Amino acid sequence: MLARSRCFSGPMLPVVNKVKQVLSCFCKMVQLHVKRGDESQFLFNTTVDAPVETVIQQITAIYNGRLKVDRICSEIPELADHGITLPPNMQGLTEEQIVELKLKDEWEDKCVPSGGPVFRKDEIGRRNGHAPNDKMKEVLMRTVEEAKALISKVVKEALDPLRGAVMIVYPMGLPPHDPIRMEFEDCEDLSGTQASLQVITEDECQLWWAAKEMQRGKKLQDYIGKNEKTKLVVKIQKKGQGAPAREPLVTDEQQKQMMMHMYRRQEELKKLEEADDDSYLDSEWTDRQSLRRQFQGLTNIKWGPR
């Protein structure tokens, strides 16, 4: 269709030109397969002219954004099952202790899920137990699944539906101490958590390729040349952790195929060995002189005493 684009005119011409421009840009891209350790993260498209610091900034934002979506998706099922989180000074206390200390959750009456709450007690005492009804719970859980599917594409596209689903169920908003609201407002406190070990800030992020750190101040083409149609695996690493482990020469699947090939080859050699039996050489039909002796009447002659 593009080969005949010169035949188009009028309102169709800008559309065809735009398609050609997009396809041209798509064909001239460097594709980075970003990994953290041995774990695959995402694919990132750029150009050889891109400065390394810009690539690091964009990759860091996507990487940390994906972690944020993961954290929100792990909290929303708890919100759907047990309602909003209690204030920090009430979490983990028994009902008797709350009464004894005269504590009250001032957000309980403000943050009521749409359609009314259903009481589901939180056994660990972290949430207030006033959960959304089944219909509203389905809204939250369905959006979590959609966000997980989107996470490999664009982080913002994954965050917006999650924020929207929470607003549908809690139109008044969540309490300021709720971890989901804190994630949406980028003020989450990850200190002392496993999640804090996963996040990499932009200034401490390093980009490695072929056992070399890609230095800020340079461009990608200083490392990979000027060929835009390039695909390579890069690894992100925290500053001070040293070089990440090299990529294996063969993948697990390739090694599996090689092992299967070697096994089949050994079986074939074993069959050939079994077939390599020369006992048939003692048979009469293998004697080249048997026909001549037959004409001379020299067959069936046996040597030995009578």
Residue position matching structure tokens 């929303």: 76
The pLDDT tens digits of the residues spanning 183-226 come to 999 898 888 888 888 888 888 999 999 888 999 999 999 998 88
Q: Give the model's pLDDT for residue 4.
A: 41
Which pTM was predicted?
Answer: 0.67
Indicate if the pLDDT at residue 176 is higher than 60: yes
Q: 201 to each of 99, 198, 303, how far by Cα in Å?
A: 43, 10, 98
- Please give the pLDDT value at position 97: 92
In tens, the pLDDT along 48-87 reads: 999 999 999 999 999 999 999 999 999 999 999 999 999 9
Contact 207, 214 (CB under 8 A): yes
Q: State which of 12-21, 127-136, 194-203 shows the largest mean pLDDT.
A: 127-136
Conformational region of residue 145, where left means phi above 0, alpha means psi within -120 to 50, and beta covers everything else: alpha
5-19, 169-183, 201-215, 247-261: range with lowest mean pLDDT: 5-19
